[in-house]
């Protein structure tokens, strides 16, 4: 199997048996995944919140908190709630599988696992996560464009009024009047705003930039159709 974008695909393995982490880690590293390990649920919660892995392989049978509780706590945390979790366990009873799905697991593989099956399931859930991310981005873009369209619509009339009044004022005052340049500047800035409005109306994809150090805003100059 070949991992796409392997340089950014990180998997967290959670198991209280170090040999299990090493074995599974070696398999996944050979496939190009970046691996982190956690020896228990508490360490998993800490590492997951810090690195935000793309997927978590979680053993069920661990000292407290066990895999079920660890999964529940990961899903309760807004920072880690969207990370897909695959349970790895020797518990194969239906009630255990149901409980795993109830606390938020995306999949459930019993030990000893088939390597090819595990790799296929990992890739499947990574692709599902990517597809969901793209869907959310499209919805976000649609909302942004709808808002931009509404703002543009509301700005057109005031801009036309200001532009028209500035033209009238420039026609009525003498070119040597000290206010002539000020009014001319108003007209230039109105024309600039009209160009920005037209640009916003044409945007179908966008890029963002940081404003004032922290906040992200749309970079109009780099956005387009």
Phi, psi torsion values for 108, nearest 5 degrees: -150, 115
Q: Residue 69: which of 105, 95, 109 has the closest Cα?
A: 105
Cα gap 121→107, rounded to integer Å = 8
Position 157 scores a pLDDT of 83
Query: For the chain, what is the mean pLDDT?
Result: 84
What is the rounded radius of gyration, in angstroms, for the C-alpha atoms of the chain? 28
Q: Cβ neighbours of residue 168 under 8 Å, at least 6 residues apart? A: none
Is residue 36 one of the residues assigned to a domain?
yes
Same domain, 108 and 165: no
Asked if residue 50 belongs to a domain, the reply is yes
pLDDT higher for 27 or 137? 27
Position 97 in a domain = yes
Question: Into how many domains does the chain fold?
Answer: 2
Q: What is the pLDDT of residues 34-81, one digit of tens each?
A: 999 999 999 999 999 999 999 999 998 888 899 999 999 999 999 999
Q: Residue 217: give its domain's CATH number.
A: 1.10.287
The domain in which residue 90 lies consists of: 6-113
Place of tokens 């873009």: 141
* CATH number, domain with residue 84: 3.40.50.2300
| The pLDDT value given to residue 4 | 47
Torsion sign (Cα): 17, 23, 24, 26? positive
In the chain, the percentage of residues whose pLDDT exceeds 70 is 86
Convert the pLDDT of each residue in 97-149 to its tens digit. 788 888 989 998 888 888 999 999 999 999 998 888 888 877 877 787 777 77
């Amino acid at each position: 199997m070949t991992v796409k974008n392997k340089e950014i695909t990180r998997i967290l393995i959670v198991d209280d048996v170090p040999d299990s982490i090493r074995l599974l880690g070696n398999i996944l590293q050979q496939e190009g995944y970046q691996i982190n390990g956690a020896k228990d649920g508490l360490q998993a919660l800490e590492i997951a919140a810090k690195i935000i892995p793309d997927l978590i392989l979680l053993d069920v049978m661990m000292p407290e908190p066990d895999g079920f509780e660890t999964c529940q706590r990961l899903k309760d945390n807004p920072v880690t709630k969207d990370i897909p979790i695959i349970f790895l366990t020797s518990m194969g009873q239906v009630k255990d599988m149901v409980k795993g799905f109830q606390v938020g697991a995306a999949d459930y593989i019993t030990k000893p696992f088939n390597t090819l099956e595990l790799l296929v399931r990992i890739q499947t859930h990574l692709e599902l996560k990517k597809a969901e991310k793209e869907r959310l981005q499209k919805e976000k873009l649609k909302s942004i464009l709808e808002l931009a369209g509404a703002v543009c619509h509301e700005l057109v009339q005031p801009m036309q009024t200001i532009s028209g009044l500035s033209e009238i004022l420039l026609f009525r005052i003498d070119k040597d009047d000290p206010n002539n340049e000020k009014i001319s500047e108003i007209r230039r800035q109105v024309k600039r705003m009209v160009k920005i409005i037209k640009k916003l109306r044409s945007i179908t994809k966008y890029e963002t930039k940081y404003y004032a150090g922290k906040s992200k805003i749309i970079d109009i100059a780099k956005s387009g159709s």
